[in-house]
């Protein structure tokens, strides 16, 4: 700033400032965009890429891609796509290995009952939940960048997949299926769930190929939290028949939650007392254990594995008491040992499941990326959103070949992994070892596990999602728009369905962004602000912020801090017409930021501050060109300040330089204002000379008519800084 200000200081009491330097702040020579490029721009190298033909640029891009096939290029690509090659050589074996081992085993123990429980949500046999807790975890360990992320079965995805599976392979109306018919139905449902996972993985790989990791930004935090909270309520209601021992068909589609509640209330007299007792005892153990793990997480060496304890106790009780035969309690049954044969899902089903795979892919990516970002910020490392797309895409695609259903990062197990002392992705390998031992050797111990216990595990795992509603009062205080997004998404998820609620939430969230640029009184909107100069500085601030800011009569500096596109061009035109009193816009009466005396003064020069205009489309650019033309016809000198290169290029292509000269485009508001003040000084000097010729004793305003005659009008005294 040393070159910007001169040695003059702010005038003392009783002193006056001239018009050229009204507040004692003497500026350097104003810089236009053209002059700035001459002094500081690289005029020789910059135009070359613009003039380069498109085919030449594509050829250069192809050469750079081909260069990656060299030895060094292939190694860099391998490092980027296999993160263990980067973090494993720097692994602190003594400091981290024990923590990763303990955390991995702890998470693996939780994966076993949760995987079987979430398989029930997906409408497939429990063993396929174990497969989904093994293969995706192993693949993410090799490809993921989230050091503290735990992947596997996720309640929201399981619920969405279950709805799709029930629609694609519905339960026969006659019911009472034989053993063979039940196996055939389960096989069809497993194939449908695997096809959904295959489609979801293929979509994420396509997004990775197009480098669309930026799409995660469209799922804002209120949308994701409302989605998971609303889905938790769906999970709770969908598990009521299993809690009560009611063999009810699963409701799908819109209003499924209310249909399920109505069916449960109707069939409540037929509930099983044995399964109801098991459910009550299970919840009485699981909920307090969850609360203890949260309250004493800093004091406990490792979280209490309440789920596996409950599973063992319930299995022993059911076996010793023969609950399955005496009281017809539904049990898990035989878990097949080993792994299923790799099988490609039926490609004929893909067109039918793409509509279900797309929202699942978005939910998978949004939840996993946001969760990984939280812990990456906490522990000071970075994640690659596009690499996360690759990791989860390959995880879903490859695991679908082994009859797995859609998977993603999970909130509960990720928090458990961090609390247990996990440090890197190596913890996932220890988790896989626990699940592998169950698949190979320990499966028969879960034969007598009641399915009601799995339903209780599903409900207790929703604790974090339900407690997200506690953030609503704080969200109301911070941003009522985000609060509205949260509530609209939650209501849509609860009343309609998870996938439709997600669509409603995304659309409503983006509509609020658009509406905040419009004149909607119930939303905080961006206004066109009149700027004034802070005395003794070169700083310009909105006039409504302080009554001490100065606005020079005849000069209007306006800031329009919002994108200029087809949706805002009408507002832009109306506001600028009102400020400059052009055409019918002068009849409008919006709230003004200017003092009354300044409003009465005719505008001679206008400076439009474009620093807040992040982009402009063709319609917005034409609006600026028309404004420049109307200002020229009205005798107003139009100046533009601080346009970024993209906006300036769009305005130039729209024909702005046909209406203004390059000398009217300035690099900053300060430069444009200094030029405008000099212009007003010259005009003031001319007016003073003509007033002397007219012989007036009072300060008058001269309006030059068509014949250049002197017209006198008595006005209030001119402020001293204009004399």
Q: In Å, how far are 370, 403, 544, 639 from 541, measured between CA atoms?
A: 37, 63, 9, 18
User: Burial, 182: exposed, middle or buried (Cβ in 10 Å; 0-12, 13-18, 19+)?
Assistant: exposed
Q: Residue 34's pLDDT is what?
A: 80
Look at 525 and 319; give whichever has higher pLDDT: 319
pLDDT of residue 484 exceeding 90, the answer is: yes
Look at 412 and 270; give whichever has higher pLDDT: 270
Name residues whose C-beta falls within 8 Å of residue 13's C-beta, 6 or more positions apart in sequence: none
pLDDT band at 65 (very low <50, low <70, confident <90, very high): low
pLDDT band at 420 (very low <50, low <70, confident <90, very high): confident
Q: What is the DSSP letter of 660?
A: S
Q: Where are the domains of the chain?
A: 94-211+272-465, 529-583+601-692
Residue 155's H or E segment, with its range, is helix 155-168
Instruction: Give the tokens for residue 663.
Output: 């000398």
- Picking from 333, 320, 323, the residue whose alpha carbon sits closest to that of residue 273 is 323
**Dist. CA 720–CA 238, nearest whole Å:** 78
SS3 422: coil
Q: Residue 137's pLDDT is what?
A: 94
pLDDT band at 399 (very low <50, low <70, confident <90, very high): very high
Strand partners, 152: 408
Q: What is the DSSP string of 523-560?
A: S-----EEEEEPTTSS-EEEGGG-TT-B--TTEEEEE-
Structure confidence by residue, pLDDT tens digits, 671-716:
888 888 888 887 777 766 665 665 544 444 444 433 333 333 333 3
pLDDT averaged over every residue in the chain: 80
Q: In Å, how far are 576, 581, 654 from 636, measured between CA atoms?
A: 13, 11, 21
Q: Residue 706's pLDDT is what?
A: 36
- What's the whole-number mean pLDDT along residues 612-623? 88
**Dist. CA 684–CA 678, nearest whole Å:** 10
**Dist. CA 634–CA 577, nearest whole Å:** 12
pLDDT of residue 5 exceeding 80, the answer is: no
**Dist. CA 208–CA 573, nearest whole Å:** 41
**Dist. CA 248–CA 239, nearest whole Å:** 11
pLDDT of residue 722 exceeding 50, the answer is: no
The strand order across the sheet containing 637-641 reads 540-542, 529-533, 555-559, 605-609, 637-641, 665-666
Q: Residue 352's pLDDT is what?
A: 83
Q: In Å, how far are 120, 226, 447, 526, 622 from 127, measured between CA atoms?
A: 10, 30, 11, 55, 63
CB 246 within 8 A of CB 267: yes
Q: Residue 677's pLDDT is what?
A: 85
Treating both helix axes as pointing N-terminal to C-terminal, what angle do 385-400 and 71-81 enclose, rounded to 10 degrees?
80
Lowest mean pLDDT, pick from 61-70, 492-501, 671-680, 712-721: 712-721
Structure confidence by residue, pLDDT tens digits, 219-248:
788 888 898 888 889 888 988 888 888 888
pLDDT of residue 8 exceeding 60, the answer is: no
Q: Residue 61's pLDDT is what?
A: 55
Q: Residue 69's pLDDT is what?
A: 59
Q: Residue 42's pLDDT is what?
A: 55
CB 335 within 8 A of CB 444: yes
Q: Residue 57's pLDDT is what?
A: 54
Phi, psi of 119 (to 5 degrees): -65, -35
Instruction: Give the tokens for residue 313.
Output: 């106790």
**Dist. CA 151–CA 433, nearest whole Å:** 15
Phi, psi of 187 (to 5 degrees): -65, -40
- What's the whole-number mean pLDDT along residues 443-461? 87
pLDDT band at 426 (very low <50, low <70, confident <90, very high): very high
Q: b/e string for 127-164 if b means 16 or more Cβ within 10 A?
A: bbbbbbbbbbbbbbbbbbbbbbbbbbbbbbbbbbbbbb
Structure confidence by residue, pLDDT tens digits, 102-161:
889 988 988 998 888 889 889 999 999 999 999 999 999 999 999 999 999 988 899 889
- Picking from 115, 111, 221, 226, the residue whose alpha carbon sits closest to that of residue 466 is 226
Q: Residue 24's pLDDT is what?
A: 45
Instruction: Give the tokens for residue 381.
Output: 């490392």
pLDDT of residue 408 exceeding 80, the answer is: yes
pLDDT of residue 195 exceeding 70, the answer is: yes
Q: What is the pTM of this model?
A: 0.70
pLDDT of residue 299 exceeding 70, the answer is: yes
SS3 564: strand
pLDDT of residue 55 exceeding 80, the answer is: no
**Dist. CA 338–CA 183, nearest whole Å:** 18
> In the CATH scheme, what is the homologous superfamily, with its name and number, of domain 529-583+601-692?
STAS domain (3.30.750.24)
């Amino acid at each position: 700033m040393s070159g910007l200000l001169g040695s003059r200081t702010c005038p003392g009491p009783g002193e006056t400032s001239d018009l050229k330097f009204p507040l004692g702040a003497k500026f350097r020579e104003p810089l236009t965009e053209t002059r700035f490029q001459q002094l500081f721009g690289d005029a020789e190298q910059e135009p070359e890429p613009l003039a380069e033909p498109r085919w030449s640029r594509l050829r250069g891009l192809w050469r750079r891609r081909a260069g990656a096939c060299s030895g060094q290029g292939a190694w860099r690509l391998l490092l980027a796509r296999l993160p263990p090659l980067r973090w494993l050589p720097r692994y602190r074996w003594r400091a981290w290995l024990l923590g990763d081992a303990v955390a991995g085993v702890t998470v693996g123990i939780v994966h076993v009952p949760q995987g079987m429980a979430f398989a029930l949500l997906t409408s497939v046999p429990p063993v396929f939940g174990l497969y989904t807790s093994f293969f995706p975890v192993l693949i993410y360990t090799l490809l993921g960048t989230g050091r503290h992320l735990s992947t596997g079965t996720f309640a929201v995805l399981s619920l969405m997949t279950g709805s799709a599976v029930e629609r694609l392979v519905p339960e026969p109306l006659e019911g009472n299926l034989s053993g063979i018919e039940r196996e055939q139905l389960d096989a069809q449902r497993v194939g449908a769930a695997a096809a959904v996972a295959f489609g979801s993985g293929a979509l994420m790989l396509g997004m990775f190929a197009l480098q669309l990791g930026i799409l995660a930004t469209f799922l804002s935090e209120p949308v994701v939290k409302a989605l998971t909270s609303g889905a938790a309520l769906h999970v709770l209601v969908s598990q009521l028949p299993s809690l009560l021992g009611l063999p009810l068909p699963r409701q799908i589609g819109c209003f499924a939650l209310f249909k399920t509640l109505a069916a449960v209330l109707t069939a409540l007299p037929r509930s099983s007392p044995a399964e109801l007792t098991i459910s009550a005892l299970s919840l009485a153990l699981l909920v307090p254990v969850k609360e203890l793990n949260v309250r004493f997480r800093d004091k406990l060496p490792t979280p209490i594995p309440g789920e596996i304890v409950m599973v063992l106790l319930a299995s022993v009780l059911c076996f010793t008491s023969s609950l399955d035969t005496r009281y017809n309690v539904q049990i898990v049954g035989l878990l097949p040992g080993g792994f299923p044969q790799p099988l490609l899902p039926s490609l004929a089903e893909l067109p039918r499941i793409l509509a279900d795979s797309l929202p699942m892919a978005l939910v998978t990516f949004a939840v996993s990326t946001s969760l990984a970002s939280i812990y990456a910020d906490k522990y000071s490392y970075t994640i690659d959103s596009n690499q996360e797309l690759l990791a989860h895409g390959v995880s879903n695609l490859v695991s679908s070949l082994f009859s797995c259903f859609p998977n993603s990062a999970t909130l509960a197990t990720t928090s458990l992994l961090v609390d247990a002392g996990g440090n890197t992705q190596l913890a996932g390998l220890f988790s896989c070892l626990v699940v592998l031992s169950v698949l190979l050797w320990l499966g028969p111990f879960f034969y007598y596990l009641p399915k009601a216990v799995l339903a209780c595990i599903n409900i207790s795992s929703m604790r974090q999602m339900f407690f997200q509603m506690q953030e609503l009062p704080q969200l109301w205080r911070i941003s009522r728009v985000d609060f509205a997004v949260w509530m609209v998404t939650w209501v849509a998820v609860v009343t309609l369905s998870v996938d439709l609620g997600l669509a409603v939430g995304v659309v409503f969230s983006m509509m609020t962004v658009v509406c905040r640029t419009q004149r909607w009184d119930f939303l905080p909107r961006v206004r066109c602000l009149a700027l004034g100069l802070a005395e003794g500085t070169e700083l310009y601030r909105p006039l409504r912020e302080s009554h001490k800011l100065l606005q020079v009569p005849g000069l209007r500096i306006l800031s329009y801090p919002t994108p200029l596109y087809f949706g805002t061009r009408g507002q832009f035109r109306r506001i600028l017409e009102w400020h400059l009193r052009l055409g019918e816009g002068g009849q409008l009466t919006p709230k003004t930021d200017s003092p009354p005396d300044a409003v009465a003064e005719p505008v001679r020069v206008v400076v439009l501050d474009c620093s807040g205009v992040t982009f402009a489309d063709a319609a917005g650019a034409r609006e600026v060109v028309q404004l420049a033309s109307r200002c020229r016809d009205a005798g107003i000198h139009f100046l533009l300040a601080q346009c970024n290169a993209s906006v300036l290029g769009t305005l130039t292509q729209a024909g702005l330089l046909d209406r203004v000269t390059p000398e009217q485009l300035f690099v900053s508001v300060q430069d444009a204002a200094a030029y405008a003040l000099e212009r007003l000084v010259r005009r003031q000097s001319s007016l003073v000379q003509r007033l002397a010729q007219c012989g007036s004793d009072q300060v008058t305003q001269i309006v030059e008519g068509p014949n250049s005659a002197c017209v006198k009008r008595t006005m209030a005294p001119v402020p001293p800084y204009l004399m």
